[in-house]
Structure 1
Amino acid sequence: MEPSAYTGKNAAEARDMDAVARFYVKCALWLGAHDQVFVDAYFGPAAVRDEALMVTVPPDRIAGYAADLLATLDRIDPDRLEGAGRMRHTHLREMIRALEARAGILAGESTTFNAETEALYGVAAQEDDPAWYDDLHAALDASLPGNGDLPVRYRAFMDSFVIPSGRLEPVFAAAFAESRRRTAERLPLPAGERLEIGYAAGEPWEAYIRYLGDGASLIRVNADLPVTVDRALAYACHEGYPGRHTMRVIREAALVRARGWIEHAVVTLASPLATVAEGAAVLGEEMIFPAPERARFFEEVLFPQAGFETADAALFDAVVTASAALNLTGNARVARGYLGGALPREEASLLLQNVLLLDPKAAQARIRFIEESRAYPVALNEGYRIVRDYVGDGPDRWERFIHALTDPLLPGELTSNDSP
């Protein structure tokens, strides 16, 4: 049984980008049945999802359908489209190319890690530099109390700031409330948007967010796992405000509902558009809590809520700043070395312990994450770097940040000489 009577070849007859987009969504949903991390959210028409999921389509066939859709777009002359239509044509092409590449990999096609990163995310992995972490280790060594082994000192320090289970709710509530307030001062939020925070137990994850559509997100925090106080604020900013939730609420309203661009109703984590979107979400915490305001928020709000000594807030903030940079860049470099074949699994685990300062259990969990998400850590690191450099520190930095956060953009659109 064919999965649908409507394929890219049919769409070519109508020269209809809406038809291309609708079939692309079905292809993405089909691929999501084989790749559990490919589709991060879907908030389009239920009928489209239900029709797609009535059947199972193998990856090689999905790759073939993607090739059909690209051929369709080749028959649509972008020069005959108005500005928004040209942008849509360009973005659809890159989204479909990433889908084709991912489907091909799942179908058994061989590729290098660097080629995979370029095809899926539109960026190149950084070349290795053995001394990349020296300055960050030096900053941590100077900040952390005591002497001796840096990983041991770092882990002992961070363990002292694990939020007691009975205080999780007030700490998270305060972090999300303040991140929302600060975001709304800069960026009007659509009416009716809402985010629910809940708590679970017995799960392998620390926390997750699910965008449900119609302006609503659900966040679940695992009350069984240790969560340090900085993670509460990182989740609030990256997953909530001004991060993923804010981004999806605005894009659903502006792109899916107002323009009818259904391709943006399926959020995939393998796309050049995801590179910029995820980079903007990471940068969000720095935008609404610039130094030294984050340290002050720790001292005045989150530390008292968690029951910690407020005198330690500035030191804690300095340690978190260095370790966050260490992890963002380090995850990308370990992924490139391990998945690219230059770094055996055991050496990758030791690198995570000795350089990123993880304990052995956390290092193994990080390896599993890299195996599952593959080039995503590279996209996250490069996306952050691209958006940070684009935003800059000029008087229009908030205008630029909002542009990167709310508009669908490719990496090249922020790095070109004529970017706004």
Structure 2
Amino acid sequence: MMNINHIAEHYVKLVLAVGQHDAGYVDAYIGPSSWQTEAQQSSATPLPTLLAQADTLLQHARSLSAPPDDQLERQQFLVLQLHAVRTFIAQLNGSKLSFDDESRALYDAVSPPLTPADLDITLAELAALLPAEIQGSDLNVRLSAYNKAFEIPRDKLDAVFTAAINEARARTRRYITLPEHESFQVSYVSNKVWSAYNWYKGNSHSLIEVNTDFPMFISRAIDLASHEAYPGHHVFNVLIENELVKEKGWIEYAIYPLYSPMSFLAEGSANYGIDVAFPHTERMQFEKDVLFPLAGIDPAKAERYYQIQAVLQKLSYAGNMVAKQYLDGEIDRDAAIAMLMKYSLSDADRSAQRIRFIEQLRSYVINYNLGQDVVQAYIEKRAGKTNQDLRWEVLTDLLRHPKSASMMA
């Protein structure tokens, strides 16, 4: 009978083998290099064989005798990760799932139902907030005209983003003990479907890539600095590597398959971590004092700008609604772009980029907004909304003890 450590080792090798069929599947790997080399040098294992291996591992994982209390959640999470691997293999082999069934199988969560009518009240609220001098009947055009004043000039982007990361890092290190040698590198890239990406390289080091296909708005500087770095993806991966892989020897955490419950926690905690690191009043002060001047943007415009950002946040689930309808075949590509322009209020080019993201990552989109809401509910149930010390404590504990959506319910 296999124990949990044997299952974990086979799981890592299975994920590496699946990665030979999909280049984007393995998001990060910090395990034995020999396992990776073996997977790369062997011819791709046929998908039906991998599917059978996943079924066998799932059976073993589910039939494990009751583990010690400190490993019960480890077993629960590993079972869900294995179920996601099995689902993804089946999809590569031709299995078709609806949007909701796919997200449930891969991420252990389903986005709440939403219709365009649910968003119309928010659109009216936003229209009333935009300055009266910005005329026009098309809300998207009005918002695009307003947002122009809040674009970070390309030649100032690095200074603004670096300042945001440094502040996020300083705030995080007050509450989370990190290795002295932890580090990151920032690179500016183009022609991507995402706005930024953290590539974890191991040994407490990350490469953060920032996409410059479109100008970055000033609100995105702190969002991306916190989400991708502190206390987001970089910190999460550093804790996983040092405390779960190196200290406990839980080898399953040496690999991160992108389409898995791990992403729900990673994206959700990274998004909610923005608010933990930068409570609204403190964020506004830092933006006005540091980031707006660095970007050459008038700090006097910050208050209304962030009022508008708060209303836009209410539209975050619009992307899930559009992705579901598009991927389930209810609307075509042009209609999906038009819906994003109306309900997410992104311009035509950004909406087209968003559709490319949806086409590539499919139901992954739920991990950002639903993930954030589930993590927020979990943390605020235990720490409230105003006790900063306790919020940091619960967030850090969650990063050190990964849980899926159903485990946080």
TM-score (normalised: structure 1): 0.89
Aligned partner of 1:92: which letter?
A: L
* Distance in structure 2 (CA, Å) of the matches to 1:315 and 1:339: 36
Aligned position for 2:242: 253
Displacement of 1:224 in angstroms is 5.7
- Is residue 375 of structure 1 aligned with residue 376 of structure 2? no
Aligned partner of 1:286: which letter?
A: D
Aligned position for 1:24: 11
The counterpart of 2:262, out of the listed 246, 257, 273, is 273
Displacement of 1:204 in angstroms is 6.5
Aligned position for 2:290: 301
Contact persistence 2:115–2:321 (CA under 8 A):
no
- Is residue 184 of structure 1 aligned with residue 184 of structure 2? no
Runs ≥4 residues deviating over 6 A: none
Q: Secondary structure at the match of 1:263?
A: helix
Aligned position for 1:93: 79
Aligned partner of 1:316: which letter?
A: Y
RMSD: 1.9
Q: Secondary structure at the match of 2:41?
A: coil
Query: CA separation of 1:325/1:245 partners in 2, compared to 1, >3 Å: closer, same or farther?
Result: farther
| Residues 121-132 of structure 1: pairs in structure 2 closer than 5 A | 121-132=107-118
Q: Deviations over 1:129-173 (max 9, x none)?
A: 333323432332222222322101111222222211211121011
Aligned position for 2:37: 50
**280-289 vs 316-325, greater mean Cα deviation:** 316-325
Displacement of 1:61 in angstroms is 2.3
| Residues 28-39 of structure 1: pairs in structure 2 closer than 5 A | 28-39=15-26
Q: Secondary structure at the match of 1:341?
A: coil
- Is residue 411 of structure 1 aligned with residue 398 of structure 2? no
Contact persistence 1:336–1:378 (CA under 8 A):
no
Q: Deviations over 1:56-86 (max 9, x none)?
A: 1233322221111112224421x2x212333
Q: Percent identity?
A: 35
**264-273 vs 176-185, greater mean Cα deviation:** 264-273
Contact persistence 1:294–1:317 (CA under 8 A):
no
* Distance in structure 1 (CA, Å) of the matches to 2:37 and 2:121: 52
Contact persistence 1:193–1:216 (CA under 8 A):
yes
Contact persistence 2:322–2:336 (CA under 8 A):
yes
Contiguous gaps of at least 5 residues in structure 2? none
The counterpart of 1:284, out of the listed 273, 277, 298, is 273
* Distance in structure 1 (CA, Å) of the matches to 2:213 and 2:366: 29
* Distance in structure 2 (CA, Å) of the matches to 1:235 and 1:176: 8
| Residues 101-180 of structure 1: pairs in structure 2 closer than 5 A | 101-145=87-131, 146-148=134-136, 149-180=138-169
Aligned position for 2:218: 229
| Residues 4-15 of structure 1: pairs in structure 2 closer than 5 A | 12=1, 15=2
**116-125 vs 269-278, greater mean Cα deviation:** 269-278
Q: Deviations over 1:269-305 (max 9, x none)?
A: 2222321232111111111111122222211110111
* Distance in structure 2 (CA, Å) of the matches to 1:202 and 1:270: 22
Q: Looking at both structures, which has the greater relative contact order when contacts are Cα pairs under 8 Å and sequence separation is at least 6?
A: 2
Query: CA separation of 1:297/1:140 partners in 2, compared to 1, >3 Å: closer, same or farther?
Result: farther
Q: Secondary structure at the match of 2:110?
A: coil
Aligned partner of 2:149: which letter?
A: S
Displacement of 1:225 in angstroms is 3.6
Contiguous gaps of at least 5 residues in structure 1? 1-11, 416-420
* Distance in structure 1 (CA, Å) of the matches to 2:158 and 2:403: 35
Contact persistence 1:197–1:219 (CA under 8 A):
yes
Aligned partner of 2:102: which letter?
A: E
Displacement of 1:32 in angstroms is 2.3
- Is residue 400 of structure 1 aligned with residue 388 of structure 2? no
- Is residue 193 of structure 1 aligned with residue 182 of structure 2? yes
Aligned position for 1:83: 69
Aligned partner of 2:83: which letter?
A: R
